[in-house]
Amino acid sequence: MKPVRLGLLGCGTVGGGVVRLLKTHAEYLARSVGAPLELARILVRDGDRDRVVPEVDRALLTGDAEVLLGDHSIDIIVEVMGGVDPARQYVERAMDSGRSVVTANKALLAKHGPDLVARAVQRRVDLAFEASVGGGIPVIRVLREALVGDSVVKLEGIVNGTCNYVLTRMRNEGLGFDEVVRDAQAKGYAEADPSLDVDGHDAAHKLVVLAMMAFGARIDGQTVPTEGIRGIDPIDHRFAERFGFVIKHLAIGRRTPSGLELRVHPALVREDTALANVNGVLNAIAIEGRALGPCLLSGRGAGDMPTAVSVVGDICDVARAKLSGVSGLATSGMSLRAGPVAPIDDVRGRYYLRFEVHDRPGVLARLAGGLGDAGVSIEQMVQEGGGGSTGVPVQIVMLTHEAVERDIRRALAEIKSSGVAARDAMLLRIQE
């Protein structure tokens, strides 16, 4: 049978993995697709020519994007070069010329996902992007296909491996944030500038893509309330443990009567849940379907080979569609609606509040009073330190009953202005 011809944009570590898998599993893939998959051309930067994996036929390499994009014998464009530009122009050009696209590009999807999906629908081509979120976790496929007959009520994800690695080691070894980040950088689990990860922006990018799939939402990532993990102290892990929780950095999406709630922040998760026990660089996404109920997917959120597995899965889907002559179904079902993200002030839940206070008479009354005045009631309280030399700060941790974040903020502002706390309170949301 006539092969399906692939053009590979980029041949770095993920691209190399794709080449390797296509070669190793060629026979099985051909059977499963209904035709052999043939690598037609590979775009590389000049400097990368010498680094391509030995499986690559060097005659396929080109440094000129025009050669690849202009070759109309190529059926599917596989974009594994990364970065927003020129990847975006290449992907758009491929779709405009009627070719389906597989991409592993998270930044591209987070920034231009809805526009690219709209373009794919318009051009009646497929746009597949499993590898852009959660590396080897098949969450896009599950949201698109397995849940096609259901609606997603809620999702919660550990979607940043760096954050999860740092929090896991802080908790297990009692280490501070800076120390673990330095070590993670040395091990290659964190970038030289870790802000994209530890400040939550990467997780917010992924949430934008997940929200598109789960809720049909067209979201500007800038509007998603986003907090990172810099402020978390080893002492917070200890207190959380004392109450039966683990601190995880979560991306959360939820339909509420007042609109879509999307947010990224650290949260307390009950220690006896599967999500709380997804550790180290592993990622996980918990989905709640109206009919399906709970569903958790976990695995490697990054890494060359897991990502390459997702890319190859997408290539097969798109190739089958191409062969059957009905491309574009994967995206045609999607109708994205723009809408506001619910303000974080409207979030309702339980809260963990840690106050560092001067050990003076009446302090606890002031804290409790501040919360009570705002209508926030306290479920549990624990104090650590104090009773000894004056001047040493005391840690007071309170778990609240369910409250609205607006009221919590009001109480914290009131407590701050009263001067009883040595520093700003630590606020962590409890994710039930």
212 vs 295, beta carbon nearer its own copies: 295
Among residues 23, 154, 187, 206, which one is catalytic?
206
Residue 192 token pair: 């030289």
Considering the rule CB under 8 A, would residue 13 count as an interface residue with its own copies? Answer: no
CB of residue 298 vs its own copies: minimum separation in angstroms?
Answer: 4
Rounded to whole angstroms, the Cα distance separating 22 from 313 reads 10
| Residue span 159-198 as binding mask against its own copies, x where in contact by CB under 8 A, dash where not | ----------------------------------------
Order across the sheet with 61-62: list the strands. Answer: 61-62, 37-43, 4-9, 76-79, 100-103, 127-128
The Cα 174–Cα 168 span in angstroms is: 10
Min separation Cβ 151 and its own copies, Å: 8
Q: Exactly one of 212, 284, 411, 415 binds its own copies (CB under 8 A); which one?
A: 284
Interatomic CA distance for residues 134 and 268, integer angstroms: 21
Residue 61 burial by Cβ neighbours in a 10 Å radius (0-12, 13-18, 19+): middle
111 as an active site residue: the answer is: no
Looking at 321, 363, 412, 415, which residue binds its own copies (CB under 8 A)?
A: 321
Examine residue 25 and tell whether it contacts its own copies (CB under 8 A). Answer: yes
Among 13, 62, 185, 273, binds its own copies (CB under 8 A): 273
Using CA of residue 66, residue 101, residue 135, residue 167, what is the dihedral sign? positive
The DSSP code for 425 is P
Q: Which of 265, 430, 268 has its CA nearest to residue 350?
A: 430
Instruction: Report the residue number, 32 or 418, with the smaller CB distance to its own copies.
Output: 32
Q: Are strands 282-289 and 378-384 parallel, antiparallel or unpaired?
A: unpaired
Six-digit token string for 235: 């002492």
Task: Considering only the stretches 39-47, 296-304, 340-348, 355-363, report the one whose residues sit in contact with its own copies under the rule CB under 8 A.
Answer: 296-304
Q: Is 292 in the site for its own copies (CB under 8 A)?
A: yes
Site string for its own copies, 326-355 (x = CB under 8 A): x--x--xx-x--------------------
The answer to whether residues 133 and 206 touch, using CB atoms and an 8 Å cutoff, is yes
Could you tell me the two tokens for 253?
């999406």
| Interacting residue with its own copies among 40, 296, 368, 427 (CB under 8 A) | 296
Instruction: Give the C-alpha separation, 359 to 91, whole Å.
Output: 61
Does position 294 bind its own copies by CB under 8 A? yes
Q: Nearest distance from residue 128's CB to its own copies, in Å?
A: 11
Residue 397: closest CA among 381, 419, 413, 378: 381
Directed axis angle between helix 106-123 and helix 87-96, to 10°? 10
Residues 104/305, Cβ–Cβ less than 8 Å: no
- Residue 26 tokens read as 């060629």
What number of chain residues touch its own copies (CB under 8 A)?
65
Q: Should residue 53 be labelled a site residue for its own copies when binding is judged by CB under 8 A? A: no
Site for its own copies in 300-319 (CB under 8 A): 300, 303, 305-306, 308-310, 312-313, 315-317
Q: Confirm or reject binding of residue 325 to its own copies (CB under 8 A).
A: yes
**Residues linked to residue 281 through DSSP beta bridges, in sequence order:** none
Whole-number minimum distance, CB 227 to its own copies, in Å? Answer: 25
Site string for its own copies, 106-145 (x = CB under 8 A): ------------------------x-----xxx--xx--x
Residue entry with tokens 């409790």:
368
Cβ atoms 168, 184 nearer than 8 A: no
Residues 6+ apart with CB under 8 A from 65: 9, 43, 86, 90
Q: Looking at 321-329, 375-383, 386-394, 416-424, which segment touches its own copies (CB under 8 A)?
A: 321-329
Query: Which secondary structure element, helix H or strand E, spans residue 409, and what is its range?
Result: helix 405-418
Residue 214 or 344 with smaller CB distance to its own copies = 214
Q: Is residue 323 a contact residue for its own copies (CB under 8 A)?
A: yes
Q: How far is the CB of 322 from its own copies (least distance, A)?
A: 10
Binds its own copies (CB under 8 A): choice among 105, 162, 298, 395? 298
- Positions touching its own copies (CB under 8 A) are 17, 21-22, 25, 28-29, 31-34, 130, 136-138, 141-142, 145-151, 272-279, 282, 284, 289, 291-300, 303, 305-306, 308-310, 312-313, 315-317, 320-321, 323-326, 329, 332-333, 335
Catalytic residues: 206
